[in-house]
Amino acid sequence: MKPNLTTRQLWNISFGFFGVQIAYALQSANISRIFATLGADPHNLSYYWLLPPLAGIIVQPLVGAASDRTWCRLGRRIPYLLVGAILSVVVMALLPNAGNIGIAAAHTMTFALFILMLMDTSINMAMQPFKMLVGDMVNQRQKAKAYSIQSLLSNAGSLVGFLFPFFLAAIGIASTAPHGQVPHSVIYSFYAGALILILCVVYTVTHVREMSPTEYAIYHGIEHPKEHHRSNLFHLLVHAPHTFWSVGLVQFFCWFAFMMMWTYTTGSIAADVFEAPIILSFEGKILIDTASLQYQEAGNWVGVLFAVQAIGSMLWSVCLPLFRNRKQSYRISLLLGAVGFLSTAFIHHPYGLFVPFVLIGCAWAAMLSLPFTILTNSLRGPHMGSYLGLFNATICLPQIIAAGLGGTLLTLLSREDSLPAEGNMLLLAGVMLLLGAICVNFISD
């Protein structure tokens, strides 16, 4: 068995995750706002979310398989972590400036989409190695604790990223901008997030020493430690353990639900809570005025709500290791999240929404830690990174499906000749989490 690590070593392995999650939180909370500000129709808004999971479903397995075969002075996972972080910093400076760099209006959306694809690709490249490091270096007895620490740092980073635009607006940075431009409060948030990201990743790189090939072989039962085990991803997928598929089924409903939240919360809150004014588009559609103060204030408040979700997730992540039965804690967490989503339909006060988003945070805490704990305990041998890369498909694929169906579902759940009912998409998210909780019963832990 692998030796026990100190608590400090467990924290060092995951510390860079704090910075990566700031970047991820800024993306999650502001992509719909940025594209709506640039002129996207709410019925088409989910399509702009297709690129991030598409990038992830391609990049994550490749990073996993490549890092399984990498041995260098920096290690096997850390080189990919470092490259991903550097790329993330560059694209984080470019994305919010899509409307400000003098590109013709007709090409602004295309440029923003291209940068978004690069941003999510680089974030995925930086994020996945942290999960692989835990799988490589932490024994089964400490793995739940290690992923809980990773979940705690993830939520702390999310908290910072979500609050940045609201905080900057509160100290006087402009939160409105001319049509087609992103407010400075959002732009400066991305700058600050990029700086923190690179500092956190540098800390992990300088404080973590990965196992040598010989050590790795001893603790993972590999006969030829320096042999590059070339993995056929399709072959590995066919021979994946049952746990891979059963946890993946739960993942489908969970990540479908959260894609609905990321895409439609801003529009829902702007219409139902902040009463943003509506306009008639050139095509004759009834839409929210995204240049209005109410809409931008709603966008800032969504960051606050997502921060409340992160706080709820941090508190719940401390409770998760106290459950003796992982399946029970997984099921309860998803049920709490479902109640949170469903209750948003009955609350129309900004502060009243804190309660639903705390409950949603409970589901998020479980999603960040329990699937990887359950899966990595069922894996052995030299292909840990490949399997974790493939497992990322259970995160990306439901997001791709949700993004592809989002416009159609929004039309079906809205009345004709009225403002798109984006709040109904949050109700749909609640139903999906209920289905996920039911599917936990099929997991063999």
At 101 the pLDDT is 65
pLDDT classification of 183: cutoffs 50, 70, 90: confident
Long-range pairs for 287-293: beta carbons < 8 A, 24 or more residues apart: 287/41, 287/42, 287/419, 287/420, 288/36, 288/42, 288/419, 290/36, 290/37, 291/37, 291/176, 291/177, 291/178, 291/179, 293/175, 293/176
* pLDDT of 334 strictly over 90: yes
Mean pLDDT of 35-45: 79
Phi, psi of 197 (to 5 degrees): -55, -50
* Helices and strands per DSSP (H, E), number in the chain: 16, 2
pLDDT classification of 210: cutoffs 50, 70, 90: confident
* pLDDT of 73 strictly over 50: yes
At 53 the pLDDT is 81
Q: Are the C-beta atoms of 262 and 28 separated by less than 8 Å?
A: yes
- At 219-238, the pLDDT tens digits run 666 665 444 455 566 767 66
* Higher pLDDT pick, 280 / 434: 434
At 19 the pLDDT is 92
Phi, psi of 211 (to 5 degrees): -65, 145
CA angle (314, 318, 320) in 5-degree steps: 110
Q: Which residues pair with 286 in a beta bridge?
A: 280
Work out whether the CA dihedral 228, 232, 237, 241 comes out positive or negative: negative
Q: Which of 82, 308, 119 is nearest to 204 (CA)?
A: 82
pTM of the model: 0.76
- How many residues belong to the chain? 445
* Secondary structure element (H or E) that encloses residue 32, with its range: helix 16-38
* Secondary structure element (H or E) that encloses residue 278, with its range: strand 278-280
- At 149-161, the pLDDT tens digits run 887 888 789 889 9
* pLDDT of 349 strictly over 70: yes
- Tokens 């692989």 map to which residue? 132
Domains in the chain: ranges and CATH: 9-223+235-442 (1.20.1250.20)
Mean pLDDT of 50-74: 77
Phi, psi of 255 (to 5 degrees): -75, -25
* Secondary structure element (H or E) that encloses residue 279, with its range: strand 278-280
pLDDT classification of 189: cutoffs 50, 70, 90: very high
Rounded CA gap, 236 and 73, in Å?
28
Q: What's the first-to-final CA gap in the chain, in angstroms?
A: 19
* Secondary structure element (H or E) that encloses residue 257, with its range: helix 242-272
Calculate the average pLDDT of the chain: 84
Identify which of 246-250, 313-317, 358-362 has the greatest average pLDDT. 358-362
* pLDDT of 319 strictly over 50: yes
The burial of 441, by beta-carbon neighbours within 10 Å (0-12 exposed, 13-18 middle, 19 or more buried), is given as exposed
Phi, psi of 99 (to 5 degrees): -90, 0
Six-digit token string for 149: 């620490």
CA angle (416, 418, 424) in 5-degree steps: 85
